[in-house]
Structure 1
Amino acid sequence: MGQADLRFGGSSSVAVAKSKAPTVDEAVAELVAQLPSDELALVLVFLSPRYDPHRFIAEITRHFADTPVCGCTTAGELAPDGWDENSVVAMTFSQADFNAVVRPILNLANFHVEDGRRIGSELRHELLRATSEVSGRNPFGLVLIDGMCRREEAVMSALYASLDNIPIVGGSAGDGLRFERTWVFFDGKAHTDAALLILLNTSLPFRVFKCDNFEPTAQKMVVTDADIEQRVVKELNAEPAAAEYSRAVGIIDAKLDPFSFASHPVLVRVGGSYYARSIQRVDPDGSLRFFCAIDEGMVLTTATSCSLVGATRDAFAETRDQIGDVSLYIGFECLLRRLDAEQHQLSREMSELYRQNRVVGFHTYGEQFGSMHVNQTFTGVAIGRRPT
C-alpha cells in the first residue's frame, strides 16, 4: 500500500510501509512484501484497533522471527502519506545504523518505582554491551504504554531516573475513540496493563522534540476535590468541576465533548514550563476525567491557542536547524490535536505537512517526553542523515 524507503548514505537504514487491507492476513502480507527482512535491529508496528491485535502480532512476528517486533494499538496512524485511520504502519531499522534492546514492563497495576529503575538500568547496560558493531554511542529511548493504565507518570519518572540522561519519548497506546482497552506488542503477543522500553543506539544524528500550540492565560483554577487514583476532578475552586471549567474557558452554553476539550486544554506549570493536562470526558455527576495525573491543590491554568499549523512547522524548522536534513520523524501525537485540527478544518493541511516531513507514528492517548507524561502535544525523535 505504498512504501517510503528512507535512505542514508546509499544504504536503507529505515524502511516504512503501510497497509489498509481488510484482514490481518492480507495486511501482514502487504507489509512483509514492502519491507526488508534481513539484518534488522528492530521492527515497529502501529496498528488500528479495527484489526485483531493478537492475530496480527502473532502473524507478523512469525515473518520476522530473528528480529524483535514491537508496537501498539492506536487512535489513528501517522503514515508515509499523512494522517490515516483503519490502517497499520510498520517500520524496520537496519543493523547497519542501529542497535536495539527491548524490555517489557508487565502488571502495571502493581508497578513499583524501584522495579522501573532496575529495568531501566539493566537495559541501559545491555545496550552498551550491544553497541560494538555501530560506530559511536548515540542512544535514545522509546516508550510505548497501555493508554488506559493510569500509571504513565510513575513509569516515566522511574525510567528516566535510571537511564543516565538517555533522552526518551513515546506514546500511550490508543483504542480509536472508544477508550476501552489498548494493547502493546512484544514477543509475538499483545499485552494490556503493560509498557515497553526500547533503547536504540545509532550512528546517525537525531533530536528528540516536543511541540504544542498553547500559551497560558491569567485564569487559574485550583483542584479542590479529586479522586487521584482514577484521575477524576470533582471540584474546581470549590465548585462542580464541569460547570467551573466551562465558566473559566467561556463555553458555558456549549455541550462539553471531545472537541471542546481539544480546543480548551488546561496547563500545569512544572519546573518553569507549562504542560497540557487534557480532559477525557465528563462523568454523569459533573466530574471531569483527565488523561494525566491530577492532585488536590494542583493549580490549573487555562490556555489560549496559537496556530496549530504554524507551531508544528516551526518545530520542524527548529529540528532542521539543529541536525540538518531530517530523513524521518518517529512521531507520537495526541488524539486531541487531531480532533482540534478537524474542528478547525485543518486536517488536510496538517496531514500534508506531516507527509512532506516524513512523519511516521500514531495518534495517542498521551505523550511521553523525558520524565513527563503530557497531553495535546506532538513528541518524537527526528532521525537525520549520515554526515558526509
Structure 2
Amino acid sequence: MGTDRWFGVGSARSACVRAGARAADEALLHDDAKLLVVFCSGAPDLRALVGEIRKRAGDVPLIGCTTAGEIAGTGPNDASVVVAALGGAGFAVETAAATGASADLRQAGARVARCLPTREDLPHKVLMVLSDGFAGNQQEIVRGAHGVLGSAVPLVGGCAGDELSMTETFQFHGDRVLTDSIVAAGIASDAPIGIGVCHGWRRVGGPMLVTASAGNRVSTLDDRPALDVYLERLNVDRFARPSRDGLARLALTHPFGLSRRDGDEVRFISGADFAERSLSCIAEIPQGALVWMMEGDASSVLDATDAACDDALAALDGRRPLGMFAFDCIARRNVLGGEGIRAEIDRLAAAVPRTPVAGFYTYGEIARTRGLRGFHNQTLVVLALG
C-alpha cells in the first residue's frame, strides 16, 4: 500500500481508559490522514473518548457515531471502539454537521451534502452520511442530499445506534458529540469507489394494502388497525398487548417489504402506538402501497453478504480495494446469532484477504446509487475504496 493512498483500521475494548487512543494509533498508518471515522459503544464517556482520539490525530477531520455493535476485520464486537483512517494525496475530504435535524430533515440533508470536494483531479466521489434514526423519516435526508448533488454522486452510510435501548443516539463531528444531527464526509478519490446493497429477506404470505398512512406512521392495513393486522400475521393475540420491548423483538426479524420495480425495500418497524393501534417505521410507507411480511434465515442473510461484497468489488474495475466500510442492520445480526455474525464478518474479510474492514450495526442504512430512493432497513451496505 503506497503512502499516496492508504486506509487503516484500529479497534479496542471501550472499557479501557485509553481505548480511543489505542484504536487511533492502530488506524493511523501514516502522518497525512485526511479523515477519521469512529464507531463506538454509547457506554463510555463519549466526549473523553473523542478527546483521546483527537489528541492522537490532531485536527484531522473526524465523523462518527454510537452503534448497536461494532465491526472490524477481526470480528464483530460490543462495547468497543473502531477507528478507520484514510489518507494520502489520492484523497480529499471535507466534513459537515447539521444539528437540530428533526426540524427539517430534507434541509439538513442538503446542508451536509455541500461538503463534497470539487477537485477535477479526483473524479471519483461519495458522500458518507451518519444520522440520528430517531429524528424522523430518513428518506428525507436522501432527498435533500440528492437536491444538492444530483444523481452523479452516490450516498452511503447508516443510522447511529444505542445498543437497542431505542432512546437516544449520538453523532460525532470534530471534537463535538451531538444528537438529533446528521454528520457527513464528502470523499473525493483518484480511484474508483464501489457500493453493494443486499438484504436477504423474502416475502411471506399475501400482500397488505396501506389504506392510511402519513410519513413513517402506518395507521391502517386493509382498512383495519395496522398493529392488529401485524400481530395477527405473526399469530400473536392482539389482546395480549405485547410490551414495547416484546414488539421490538418481533419487529427485528419480521419487517415489512415495500414493493418497488427493482425489488422489495425493507422497512424496519420501530414502534407502535398501542392506543391508536398504529405502527411506526424508520422511513415512510406511502398510502396506497402494497407491503408484505418479510422473513429471512442465516442462509439467505449470508448469501446477501456475498452479493453485497461482489457488487461493491465489481465497481472497482479489477483494482484491489484499500479498505471497506460495512453498514449492517442490527436485525440481520439477530437473525444470524453469535456464530452467524462472526461468519458474516469472516466472509467480508475473505472477500479480499488482508483488506481492512470497519463498520457498525445500524438502525437503518443509506445507499443511493441511482434515482431518488436510498434509505434501507435490515440491509447490508458495503462501501469499497479502490
Distance 1:209 1:139 in 2: 15
Superposed displacement of residue 34, structure 1: 2.1
Distance 1:83 1:119 in 2: 29
Q: Deviations over 1:16-45 (max 9, x none)?
A: 00010414x411231233232621111110
Pick from 72, 76, 85 the counterpart of residue 83 of structure 1: 76
Q: Where does the alignment leave 5 or more consecutive residues of structure 1 unmatched?
A: 1-7
- Mean Cα deviation higher: 287-296 or 173-182: 287-296
- Please state if 1:328 is matched with 2:315: no
The change in CA–CA distance for 1:161 and 1:380 in structure 2 (over 3 A counts) is farther
Superposed displacement of residue 148, structure 1: 1.3
Distance 2:205 2:367 in 1: 26
Give the aligned residue type for 2:377: N
The change in CA–CA distance for 1:315 and 1:21 in structure 2 (over 3 A counts) is closer
SS of residue in 2 equivalent to 1:162? helix
Superposed displacement of residue 59, structure 1: 3.1
Paired residues for 1:2-151 under 5 Å: 8-9=1-2, 13-23=6-16, 25-36=17-28, 38-111=31-104, 113=106, 116-117=109-110, 119-120=112-113, 122-124=114-116, 127-128=117-118, 131=119, 135-151=121-137
The change in CA–CA distance for 1:365 and 1:63 in structure 2 (over 3 A counts) is same
Tell me the TM-score normalized by structure 2: 0.85
* Partners of 2:67 and 2:360 within 8 A in 1: yes
- Please state if 1:196 is matched with 2:183: yes
Paired residues for 1:301-316 under 5 Å: 301-305=292-296, 307-316=300-309
- Please state if 1:166 is matched with 2:141: no
Distance 2:165 2:185 in 1: 27
Distance 1:372 1:313 in 2: 20
Pick from 275, 279, 297 the counterpart of residue 288 of structure 1: 279
Superposed displacement of residue 118, structure 1: 5.6
Aligned position for 2:232: 247
- Mean Cα deviation higher: 288-297 or 166-175: 288-297
Give the aligned residue type for 1:381: L
The change in CA–CA distance for 1:119 and 1:141 in structure 2 (over 3 A counts) is closer
Pick from 352, 362, 365 the counterpart of residue 364 of structure 1: 362
Pick from 236, 243, 267 the counterpart of residue 277 of structure 1: 267
Pick from 374, 377, 382 the counterpart of residue 375 of structure 1: 377
Distance 1:326 1:119 in 2: 26
The change in CA–CA distance for 1:322 and 1:372 in structure 2 (over 3 A counts) is closer
- Mean Cα deviation higher: 365-374 or 252-261: 252-261
* Partners of 2:296 and 2:335 within 8 A in 1: no
* Partners of 1:21 and 1:87 within 8 A in 2: yes
SS of residue in 2 equivalent to 1:311? helix
Superposed displacement of residue 240, structure 1: 2.9
SS of residue in 1 equivalent to 2:79? coil
Superposed displacement of residue 217, structure 1: 5.3
Distance 2:142 2:25 in 1: 36
Q: Deviations over 1:311-343 (max 9, x none)?
A: 212332344344233342211111111111129
Distance 1:115 1:196 in 2: 10
SS of residue in 2 equivalent to 1:22? coil
Give the aligned residue type for 2:340: L
Give the aligned residue type for 1:362: F
- Mean Cα deviation higher: 245-254 or 158-167: 245-254
Distance 2:111 2:132 in 1: 20
Superposed displacement of residue 282, structure 1: 4.4
Aligned position for 1:223: 210
- Please state if 1:341 is matched with 2:339: no
How many residues are matched?
Answer: 366
Distance 2:61 2:342 in 1: 34
Superposed displacement of residue 308, structure 1: 1.1
Q: Where does the alignment leave 5 or more consecutive residues of structure 2 unmatched?
A: none
Superposed displacement of residue 238, structure 1: 2.4
Distance 2:83 2:15 in 1: 16
Q: Deviations over 1:122-165 (max 9, x none)?
A: 433xx11xx37xx5411111001112111421111110231131
Distance 2:252 2:107 in 1: 35
* Partners of 1:17 and 1:80 within 8 A in 2: no
Distance 1:211 1:185 in 2: 27
Give the aligned residue type for 2:134: M
SS of residue in 1 equivalent to 2:308? helix
The change in CA–CA distance for 1:32 and 1:158 in structure 2 (over 3 A counts) is closer
The change in CA–CA distance for 1:207 and 1:250 in structure 2 (over 3 A counts) is farther
Distance 2:24 2:201 in 1: 40
Distance 1:322 1:116 in 2: 26
Superposed displacement of residue 220, structure 1: 1.3
The change in CA–CA distance for 1:118 and 1:351 in structure 2 (over 3 A counts) is closer
- Mean Cα deviation higher: 87-96 or 260-269: 260-269
Name the % identity.
24
- Mean Cα deviation higher: 8-17 or 358-367: 8-17
The alignment's C-alpha RMSD in Å is: 2.7
SS of residue in 2 equivalent to 1:96? coil
Aligned position for 2:344: 350
Paired residues for 1:174-185 under 5 Å: 174-185=161-172
Distance 2:278 2:64 in 1: 33
* Partners of 1:258 and 1:339 within 8 A in 2: no
Give the aligned residue type for 2:383: V
The change in CA–CA distance for 1:239 and 1:382 in structure 2 (over 3 A counts) is same
Distance 1:151 1:279 in 2: 12
SS of residue in 2 equivalent to 1:220? strand
Distance 1:320 1:301 in 2: 31
* Partners of 2:199 and 2:304 within 8 A in 1: yes
Distance 2:293 2:12 in 1: 40
The change in CA–CA distance for 1:34 and 1:94 in structure 2 (over 3 A counts) is same
Q: Deviations over 1:43-97 (max 9, x none)?
A: 1100111122222223322332231111111111111211111100001111332
Tell me the TM-score normalized by structure 1: 0.85
